[in-house]
Structure 1
Amino acid sequence: MLFSSAVAAGGLPTEEHAPAATAPRPAILVFTRTLGWRHDSIPQAVETLRGLAAQAGFEVVHSEDPALFDNGQLARFRAVVFANTTGEVLDAAQRAAFERYIAAGGAFMGVHSAADTGKAWPWYGELVGAWFKDHPPGLQTTDVHFEDGRGPDGLERWRVTDELYNYRRNPRPAVVVIATVDESGYEGGTMGTDHPIAWCHAAAGGRAWYTGLGHAQAVYADPVFRAHLLRGLRYATGLSGDC
């Protein structure tokens, strides 16, 4: 027990407590490796996710090093985010470690071209929910419709300008759809009247959340998109059971 050397007149020594050590915050891995198209918006994606994760009480580790995908390293992370990854970013051993991580209750969050990743990896296709097929040229402006109260603060419709993916399949039978895009508002949609753009699901023993938005740099400054990503982070990290 430590006491101060100063004693008030007629009083007793004052006890001094050493400051308590601050426990490290749990971490999220934001992975941005690209072996195909590289998005100019990756820096905005990383900084946005870093800020949102801090709001939710998490640290962000940003890396493009696939060596982090081993059993010991992955165990550090509450969730793994593929933010605008492209191509075959992991080798066979790293893929197997990631599969074990998810099977043990880990979580995945995918942003935009996470769906243009791992196309030679069937397990990953099931995890992300649907692979990218193609997209109209340039940025398109249309309405996003949030389903069943899953928009920020119950928002049902949001006008957005971004690159809008068409997918190889409609993931709805296997996932919970968060939002769809209105193909009647732009040229180049090929999925028809039901075009999911964001979804979540229980996957391979863990959790997965995906949004097809996030190509354009400007969208990361949009408060609706930021709230959408925060909801994804909260679901992936287990802070919320509702995506």
Structure 2
Amino acid sequence: MKNIVIALAVLAGSATAPAAHADSQYKLLVLAMPGKYHYEYIPIARDSLEQLAKLHAFELTYTNKTAVFEGDLKQYAAVMFLNTPGEELSPAQRAKFEDYMRGGGNAIVVHRAAITPPDAWPFYEKLVGRRVGVHPMLQTGVVTVVDKTFPATYGLPERWIWSDEFYVTTNPYHVTIHPVLSVDESSYDPEKIWPGQVSKGMGKDHPIAWYHHVEKGRVFVTTLGHNGEMYRDPQYLGHLMGGIYWTVTGKGQTSNK
């Protein structure tokens, strides 16, 4: 009986491992930790990202443990901070991530992951490219495409009805970013916020998704993605997949010419 079990285990391993290895174009690490306001998204996002991984032939490591940053990050084509800011990393883990980026690693920052304590980790704030302050309540607004040549906008209409927390940002480190999506502040109330807080709009220049380069690597940031149901939405997932694709490959952009 023991021999039969061993034989079945070997057979199962040989049937799955080579196929997964042959089909995988790259590895993506996703850090998704539950927070006070963001936790219900975790299983939904995991399911959707696993489906995207199967569809687009990449390998996914989805974890809520920061200990993964103590291992070999070089195996990953990109690291995604999914509603989980870099402040969750220990000093040693932060140093490992900085080394990864300086060695040509790439990063994706999604929604809540863009919010981190001011000046607590300047490297991460510069990686995000903007500092997020207070933000208005979740509202329905009109998202506009700024750069239709960038993969994260493919499949999106030029004006897209979307409901989210439209973050208000500043640029204390004077980082140059390339906006791909903006939000039309006339389509919602940028001052609608919780009692005791004040929120002001940014005017016509209000980017909500962008890309830039850090060290030798590529960084894509989308501040969209507040609630769990968004991770079932085909247009949002197309936006996210476009950001993943560009971040890990550097390809997909078309020319304005």
Regarding TM over 0.5, the answer is yes
Say which SS state the counterpart of residue 213 (structure 1) adopts.
coil
Q: Which structure: greater strand fraction?
A: 1
1:214–1:172 CA distance, 2 compared to 1 (3 A): farther
What is the Cα deviation at residue 154 of structure 1? 6.4
Larger of the two Rg values belongs to structure: 1
Unaligned 5+ residue runs, structure 1?
Answer: 1-17
Counterpart contact for 1:141–1:161, Cα < 8 Å: yes
Pair 1:51-2:62 in alignment: no
1:44–1:22 CA distance, 2 compared to 1 (3 A): closer
Structure 1: distance between partners of 2:216 and 2:117:
19
RMSD between superposed Cα atoms in Å: 2.6
Q: In the alignment, which residue of structure 1 is the partner of 2:111? A: 112
Pair 1:211-2:222 in alignment: yes
What is the Cα deviation at residue 41 of structure 1? 1.9
Residue range with higher mean Cα deviation, 225-234 or 48-57: 48-57
Report the AA paired with residue 189 of structure 2: E
Report the AA paired with residue 66 of structure 1: T
Q: In the alignment, which residue of structure 2 is the partner of 1:166? A: 168
Q: In the alignment, which residue of structure 1 is the partner of 2:135? A: 135
- Residue-by-residue CA offset, 1:192-212 (whole Å, 9 max, x unaligned): 111000001111210100100
Structure 2: distance between partners of 1:118 and 1:230:
28
Q: In the alignment, which residue of structure 2 is the partner of 1:61? A: 61
Say which SS state the counterpart of residue 219 (structure 2) adopts.
strand
What is the Cα deviation at residue 118 of structure 1? 5.9
Report the AA paired with residue 143 of structure 1: V
Structure 2: distance between partners of 1:94 and 1:199:
25
What is the Cα deviation at residue 165 of structure 1? 1.3
What is the Cα deviation at residue 219 of structure 1? 2.0
TM-score normalised according to structure 2 size: 0.78
Structure 2: distance between partners of 1:117 and 1:215:
16
Q: Which structure: greater helix fraction?
A: 2
Q: 2:247 aligns with which of 226, 236, 242?
A: 236
Report the AA paired with residue 73 of structure 1: D
Unaligned 5+ residue runs, structure 2?
Answer: 1-13, 191-199
Structure 2: distance between partners of 1:171 and 1:155:
32
1:87–1:173 CA distance, 2 compared to 1 (3 A): closer
Structure 2: distance between partners of 1:66 and 1:109:
16
1:208–1:239 CA distance, 2 compared to 1 (3 A): closer
Q: In the alignment, which residue of structure 1 is the partner of 2:188? A: 186
Counterpart contact for 2:85–2:115, Cα < 8 Å: yes
Residue range with higher mean Cα deviation, 48-57 or 225-234: 48-57
The total of aligned residue pairs comes to 224
Structure 1: distance between partners of 2:140 and 2:234:
17
Q: In the alignment, which residue of structure 2 is the partner of 1:177? A: 179
Structure 2: distance between partners of 1:205 and 1:140:
37
TM-score normalised according to structure 1 size: 0.82
Structure 1: distance between partners of 2:209 and 2:173:
10
- Residue-by-residue CA offset, 1:66-112 (whole Å, 9 max, x unaligned): 12113x42122111000001472111111111011111111100110
Structure 2: distance between partners of 1:214 and 1:222:
10
